[in-house]
Amino acid sequence: MKYFDQAPIFKLYGGRDEWSRSERVHCETIASRSRLHHWHIRPHRHAGLYQILYLHRGRAVVCLDEARHAVQGPAWVEIPQAFVHGFEFDEDCAGHVVTIAYPLLQHLIHLLGPRAVPPSQPVIHTLDRHDGAGLRAAFAHLNAQYLSRDDFRDARIEAWLTLIYARLRSRHPGADPEGPRRARGLEHHTRFGELLEASYAVHHDVAWYAARLGMTAAHLNVITRAHAGKSPLQLIHERLALEAGRSLIYTSMTIGEISDALGFSEPAHFTRFFRKAAGESPRAFRQHAWDQDEVPPEAAPVRGSPRT
Protein backbone atom coordinates (compact mmCIF):
# COMPACT_ATOMS: atom_id res chain seq x y z
CA MET A 1 0.00 0.00 0.00
CA LYS A 2 1.67 3.15 -1.19
CA TYR A 3 -0.07 5.46 1.26
CA PHE A 4 -0.45 3.16 4.26
CA ASP A 5 2.30 4.76 6.32
CA GLN A 6 1.13 8.27 5.38
CA ALA A 7 -2.58 7.73 6.12
CA PRO A 8 -3.40 9.66 9.30
CA ILE A 9 -4.60 7.81 12.39
CA PHE A 10 -7.76 9.34 13.82
CA LYS A 11 -9.90 8.50 16.80
CA LEU A 12 -12.75 9.80 14.63
CA TYR A 13 -12.21 11.36 11.23
CA GLY A 14 -11.31 15.03 11.39
CA GLY A 15 -9.69 15.18 14.82
CA ARG A 16 -7.96 13.26 17.55
CA ASP A 17 -10.16 14.28 20.49
CA GLU A 18 -13.70 14.25 19.13
CA TRP A 19 -14.84 11.12 20.96
CA SER A 20 -15.77 12.71 24.26
CA ARG A 21 -15.91 11.10 27.65
CA SER A 22 -14.83 7.52 28.26
CA GLU A 23 -17.29 5.72 26.01
CA ARG A 24 -16.70 2.40 24.30
CA VAL A 25 -18.92 3.10 21.30
CA HIS A 26 -19.71 6.10 19.12
CA CYS A 27 -22.72 6.46 16.82
CA GLU A 28 -23.61 9.17 14.33
CA THR A 29 -25.42 9.65 11.04
CA ILE A 30 -23.45 9.64 7.81
CA ALA A 31 -24.52 13.20 7.07
CA SER A 32 -23.51 14.66 10.45
CA ARG A 33 -19.80 14.30 9.72
CA SER A 34 -19.63 13.92 5.95
CA ARG A 35 -21.38 17.20 5.14
CA LEU A 36 -18.66 18.99 7.15
CA HIS A 37 -16.10 17.55 4.73
CA HIS A 38 -18.09 18.07 1.52
CA TRP A 39 -19.20 14.42 1.62
CA HIS A 40 -15.63 13.25 1.10
CA ILE A 41 -13.85 11.37 3.89
CA ARG A 42 -10.24 11.03 2.82
CA PRO A 43 -8.25 7.82 3.43
CA HIS A 44 -7.34 7.37 7.08
CA ARG A 45 -7.20 4.61 9.68
CA HIS A 46 -8.10 3.97 13.30
CA ALA A 47 -6.19 2.35 16.15
CA GLY A 48 -8.11 0.12 18.55
CA LEU A 49 -11.46 0.81 16.89
CA TYR A 50 -13.78 -1.33 14.76
CA GLN A 51 -16.13 0.52 12.44
CA ILE A 52 -19.45 -0.37 10.83
CA LEU A 53 -20.86 1.85 8.09
CA TYR A 54 -24.56 1.26 7.41
CA LEU A 55 -25.68 2.85 4.13
CA HIS A 56 -29.47 2.84 4.10
CA ARG A 57 -29.95 4.96 0.98
CA GLY A 58 -27.82 6.48 -1.74
CA ARG A 59 -24.56 5.72 -3.47
CA ALA A 60 -21.03 5.85 -2.13
CA VAL A 61 -17.53 5.00 -3.21
CA VAL A 62 -15.76 3.05 -0.48
CA CYS A 63 -11.95 3.18 -0.58
CA LEU A 64 -10.30 0.21 1.12
CA ASP A 65 -6.52 0.30 0.97
CA GLU A 66 -5.90 1.15 -2.71
CA ALA A 67 -9.14 -0.31 -4.10
CA ARG A 68 -12.32 1.69 -4.82
CA HIS A 69 -15.73 0.02 -4.54
CA ALA A 70 -19.02 1.49 -5.74
CA VAL A 71 -21.73 0.73 -3.16
CA GLN A 72 -25.48 1.23 -3.44
CA GLY A 73 -27.64 1.22 -0.33
CA PRO A 74 -28.86 -0.71 1.48
CA ALA A 75 -25.44 -2.10 2.38
CA TRP A 76 -22.98 -2.13 5.22
CA VAL A 77 -19.21 -2.10 5.47
CA GLU A 78 -17.05 -3.57 8.24
CA ILE A 79 -13.59 -2.12 8.82
CA PRO A 80 -11.20 -3.63 11.40
CA GLN A 81 -8.58 -1.47 13.07
CA ALA A 82 -5.51 -0.25 11.19
CA PHE A 83 -6.97 -0.70 7.68
CA VAL A 84 -6.87 2.40 5.50
CA HIS A 85 -10.34 3.48 4.38
CA GLY A 86 -12.18 6.49 3.00
CA PHE A 87 -15.61 7.38 1.62
CA GLU A 88 -17.10 9.54 -1.13
CA PHE A 89 -20.84 9.97 -0.54
CA ASP A 90 -23.59 11.31 -2.74
CA GLU A 91 -25.34 14.15 -0.95
CA ASP A 92 -28.59 12.19 -0.61
CA CYS A 93 -26.92 9.35 1.31
CA ALA A 94 -28.57 8.27 4.55
CA GLY A 95 -27.33 5.86 7.16
CA HIS A 96 -25.16 5.57 10.25
CA VAL A 97 -21.56 5.01 11.28
CA VAL A 98 -20.90 3.02 14.44
CA THR A 99 -17.39 2.90 15.90
CA ILE A 100 -16.67 0.28 18.55
CA ALA A 101 -13.66 0.11 20.87
CA TYR A 102 -12.09 -3.33 20.78
CA PRO A 103 -12.73 -4.08 24.48
CA LEU A 104 -16.46 -3.76 23.81
CA LEU A 105 -16.15 -5.79 20.61
CA GLN A 106 -14.45 -8.55 22.60
CA HIS A 107 -17.31 -8.40 25.09
CA LEU A 108 -19.83 -8.90 22.28
CA ILE A 109 -17.86 -11.85 20.93
CA HIS A 110 -17.74 -13.42 24.39
CA LEU A 111 -21.48 -12.88 24.77
CA LEU A 112 -22.51 -14.19 21.34
CA GLY A 113 -20.01 -17.00 20.83
CA PRO A 114 -17.31 -18.02 18.32
CA ARG A 115 -19.41 -17.23 15.25
CA ALA A 116 -19.41 -13.59 16.32
CA VAL A 117 -15.69 -13.15 15.62
CA PRO A 118 -15.45 -10.34 13.03
CA PRO A 119 -13.69 -10.78 9.69
CA SER A 120 -9.97 -10.07 9.70
CA GLN A 121 -10.22 -7.80 6.65
CA PRO A 122 -12.66 -5.10 5.52
CA VAL A 123 -15.87 -6.51 4.03
CA ILE A 124 -18.77 -4.99 2.08
CA HIS A 125 -22.18 -6.64 2.51
CA THR A 126 -25.11 -5.91 0.19
CA LEU A 127 -28.59 -6.12 1.71
CA ASP A 128 -32.04 -6.73 0.33
CA ARG A 129 -34.80 -4.20 0.94
CA HIS A 130 -36.32 -6.21 3.79
CA ASP A 131 -33.04 -6.37 5.71
CA GLY A 132 -32.41 -2.71 5.02
CA ALA A 133 -35.74 -1.62 6.47
CA GLY A 134 -35.25 -3.56 9.71
CA LEU A 135 -31.71 -2.36 10.19
CA ARG A 136 -32.69 1.24 9.58
CA ALA A 137 -34.95 1.13 12.63
CA ALA A 138 -32.32 -0.61 14.78
CA PHE A 139 -29.62 1.92 13.91
CA ALA A 140 -32.05 4.78 14.51
CA HIS A 141 -32.80 3.43 18.00
CA LEU A 142 -29.08 3.02 18.72
CA ASN A 143 -28.38 6.58 17.60
CA ALA A 144 -31.25 7.95 19.67
CA GLN A 145 -29.96 6.21 22.80
CA TYR A 146 -26.44 7.44 22.09
CA LEU A 147 -27.64 11.03 21.97
CA SER A 148 -29.83 10.69 25.05
CA ARG A 149 -29.00 11.06 28.72
CA ASP A 150 -31.79 8.75 29.88
CA ASP A 151 -31.57 6.38 32.81
CA PHE A 152 -29.62 3.21 31.98
CA ARG A 153 -28.29 4.84 28.82
CA ASP A 154 -25.18 2.64 28.58
CA ALA A 155 -27.21 -0.55 29.01
CA ARG A 156 -29.68 0.54 26.32
CA ILE A 157 -26.84 1.37 23.93
CA GLU A 158 -25.23 -2.01 24.51
CA ALA A 159 -28.56 -3.80 24.02
CA TRP A 160 -29.18 -2.20 20.61
CA LEU A 161 -25.56 -2.68 19.57
CA THR A 162 -25.72 -6.35 20.55
CA LEU A 163 -28.88 -6.83 18.48
CA ILE A 164 -27.33 -5.13 15.45
CA TYR A 165 -24.05 -7.02 15.69
CA ALA A 166 -25.83 -10.35 16.24
CA ARG A 167 -27.93 -9.72 13.16
CA LEU A 168 -24.83 -8.92 11.14
CA ARG A 169 -22.97 -12.03 12.25
CA SER A 170 -25.97 -14.35 11.88
CA ARG A 171 -26.18 -13.41 8.21
CA HIS A 172 -22.45 -12.99 7.60
CA PRO A 173 -20.27 -15.10 9.92
CA GLY A 174 -16.99 -13.28 10.32
CA ALA A 175 -14.43 -16.00 10.91
CA ASP A 176 -13.25 -17.55 7.64
CA PRO A 177 -10.43 -20.06 8.18
CA GLU A 178 -9.95 -20.37 4.42
CA GLY A 179 -9.78 -16.64 3.81
CA PRO A 180 -6.63 -14.51 3.61
CA ARG A 181 -4.95 -13.91 6.94
CA ARG A 182 -4.05 -10.42 8.08
CA ALA A 183 -0.42 -9.50 8.40
CA ARG A 184 1.32 -11.06 11.38
CA GLY A 185 2.19 -7.63 12.72
CA LEU A 186 -1.48 -6.70 12.89
CA GLU A 187 -2.27 -10.02 14.60
CA HIS A 188 0.41 -9.32 17.20
CA HIS A 189 -0.95 -5.81 17.69
CA THR A 190 -4.46 -7.19 18.23
CA ARG A 191 -3.15 -9.78 20.68
CA PHE A 192 -1.27 -7.07 22.57
CA GLY A 193 -4.55 -5.16 22.89
CA GLU A 194 -6.26 -8.25 24.30
CA LEU A 195 -3.46 -8.79 26.84
CA LEU A 196 -3.54 -5.13 27.79
CA GLU A 197 -7.30 -5.23 28.34
CA ALA A 198 -6.92 -8.18 30.71
CA SER A 199 -3.87 -6.88 32.60
CA TYR A 200 -3.68 -3.07 32.55
CA ALA A 201 -4.46 -2.72 36.28
CA VAL A 202 -1.52 -4.97 37.21
CA HIS A 203 1.01 -2.46 35.85
CA HIS A 204 3.14 -4.91 33.88
CA ASP A 205 6.05 -3.40 32.00
CA VAL A 206 6.53 -3.58 28.23
CA ALA A 207 8.93 -6.53 28.55
CA TRP A 208 6.19 -8.60 30.22
CA TYR A 209 3.79 -8.06 27.31
CA ALA A 210 6.53 -8.72 24.75
CA ALA A 211 7.45 -12.00 26.45
CA ARG A 212 3.83 -13.16 26.36
CA LEU A 213 3.80 -12.44 22.63
CA GLY A 214 7.09 -14.27 22.07
CA MET A 215 9.10 -11.25 20.96
CA THR A 216 11.45 -8.58 22.27
CA ALA A 217 10.28 -5.26 23.66
CA ALA A 218 11.95 -3.52 20.71
CA HIS A 219 9.94 -5.64 18.24
CA LEU A 220 6.70 -4.88 20.08
CA ASN A 221 7.56 -1.20 19.90
CA VAL A 222 7.93 -1.44 16.11
CA ILE A 223 4.55 -3.20 15.82
CA THR A 224 2.55 -0.75 17.94
CA ARG A 225 4.12 2.27 16.27
CA ALA A 226 3.26 0.84 12.85
CA HIS A 227 -0.38 0.08 13.70
CA ALA A 228 -1.25 2.65 16.37
CA GLY A 229 1.37 5.33 15.93
CA LYS A 230 2.35 4.99 19.60
CA SER A 231 4.77 3.06 21.79
CA PRO A 232 3.57 0.13 23.94
CA LEU A 233 4.14 2.20 27.07
CA GLN A 234 1.95 5.00 25.71
CA LEU A 235 -0.83 2.51 25.02
CA ILE A 236 -0.50 1.02 28.51
CA HIS A 237 -0.75 4.47 30.09
CA GLU A 238 -3.66 5.44 27.84
CA ARG A 239 -5.61 2.35 28.87
CA LEU A 240 -5.07 3.12 32.55
CA ALA A 241 -6.08 6.75 32.02
CA LEU A 242 -9.18 5.68 30.09
CA GLU A 243 -10.35 3.46 32.93
CA ALA A 244 -9.57 6.17 35.44
CA GLY A 245 -11.67 8.63 33.46
CA ARG A 246 -14.57 6.19 33.29
CA SER A 247 -14.41 5.63 37.03
CA LEU A 248 -14.31 9.35 37.76
CA ILE A 249 -17.28 10.11 35.51
CA TYR A 250 -19.54 7.10 35.91
CA THR A 251 -18.97 5.94 39.50
CA SER A 252 -19.06 7.52 42.94
CA MET A 253 -15.78 5.91 44.05
CA THR A 254 -13.39 8.18 45.90
CA ILE A 255 -9.97 9.00 44.48
CA GLY A 256 -8.44 6.53 46.91
CA GLU A 257 -10.82 3.76 45.84
CA ILE A 258 -10.09 4.35 42.18
CA SER A 259 -6.37 4.37 42.93
CA ASP A 260 -6.65 0.98 44.64
CA ALA A 261 -8.80 -0.50 41.89
CA LEU A 262 -6.28 0.52 39.25
CA GLY A 263 -3.31 -0.94 41.09
CA PHE A 264 -1.57 2.21 42.34
CA SER A 265 0.31 1.90 45.62
CA GLU A 266 -1.15 5.14 46.96
CA PRO A 267 -3.52 7.90 45.82
CA ALA A 268 -0.70 10.43 45.40
CA HIS A 269 0.90 8.25 42.71
CA PHE A 270 -2.43 7.91 40.94
CA THR A 271 -3.02 11.67 41.08
CA ARG A 272 0.40 12.40 39.55
CA PHE A 273 -0.17 9.81 36.82
CA PHE A 274 -3.63 11.14 35.97
CA ARG A 275 -2.54 14.79 35.97
CA LYS A 276 0.24 13.96 33.49
CA ALA A 277 -2.17 11.99 31.27
CA ALA A 278 -5.19 14.31 31.38
CA GLY A 279 -3.62 17.68 32.12
CA GLU A 280 -5.63 18.17 35.30
CA SER A 281 -6.19 16.51 38.65
CA PRO A 282 -8.72 13.68 39.04
CA ARG A 283 -10.91 15.94 41.17
CA ALA A 284 -10.94 18.71 38.52
CA PHE A 285 -11.59 16.21 35.73
CA ARG A 286 -14.61 14.82 37.56
CA GLN A 287 -16.01 18.26 38.29
CA HIS A 288 -15.59 19.40 34.68
CA ALA A 289 -17.42 16.29 33.48
CA TRP A 290 -20.35 17.08 35.74
CA ASP A 291 -20.33 20.73 34.70
CA GLN A 292 -20.50 19.78 31.00
CA ASP A 293 -23.57 17.66 31.74
CA GLU A 294 -25.21 20.70 33.37
CA VAL A 295 -26.60 18.34 35.99
CA PRO A 296 -25.63 18.65 39.63
CA PRO A 297 -23.93 15.45 40.84
CA GLU A 298 -26.54 14.92 43.53
CA ALA A 299 -29.32 14.91 40.91
CA ALA A 300 -27.79 12.31 38.61
CA PRO A 301 -29.59 8.97 39.03
CA VAL A 302 -27.01 6.68 37.41
CA ARG A 303 -23.61 7.86 38.55
CA GLY A 304 -24.28 8.93 42.10
CA SER A 305 -22.75 11.77 44.00
CA PRO A 306 -18.94 12.04 43.85
CA ARG A 307 -17.41 11.60 47.25
CA THR A 308 -14.05 13.15 46.71
Query: Would you state the pLDDT for residue 9?
Result: 42
By three-state DSSP, how is residue 77 classified?
strand
Q: What is the DSSP letter of 82?
A: T
**What global pTM score does this model have?**
0.60
- Angle at 101 (CA atoms; ends 99, 106), nearest 5 degrees: 120
Report d(CA 82, CA 44) in Å as an integer.
9
Produce one character per residue of 138-154: b if its CB has 16 or more CB atoms within 10 Å, e if not.
bbebbbebbeeeeeeee
Residue 74: cis peptide before it, omega within 30 degrees of 0: yes
Contact 229, 47 (CB under 8 A): yes
Write out the H or E segment, with its range, that includes residue 188: helix 184-199
Tell me how far the alpha carbon of residue 244 is from its chain's centroid.
Answer: 17
Report d(CA 60, CA 92) in Å as an integer.
10
Query: Would you state the pLDDT for residue 175?
Result: 55
Print pLDDT tens along the chain (308 aa): 333 334 444 455 455 444 444 568 899 999 988 888 889 888 877 777 889 999 999 999 998 877 899 999 999 999 987 788 889 999 999 999 999 887 788 788 888 887 888 887 889 998 887 766 678 899 999 999 999 888 888 889 999 999 999 998 888 876 544 444 445 676 788 788 888 888 899 999 999 999 999 999 999 999 888 777 789 999 899 888 888 887 888 788 899 999 999 999 999 999 999 999 888 999 999 888 777 654 333 333 333 333 33
Query: Would you state the pLDDT for residue 292?
Result: 60
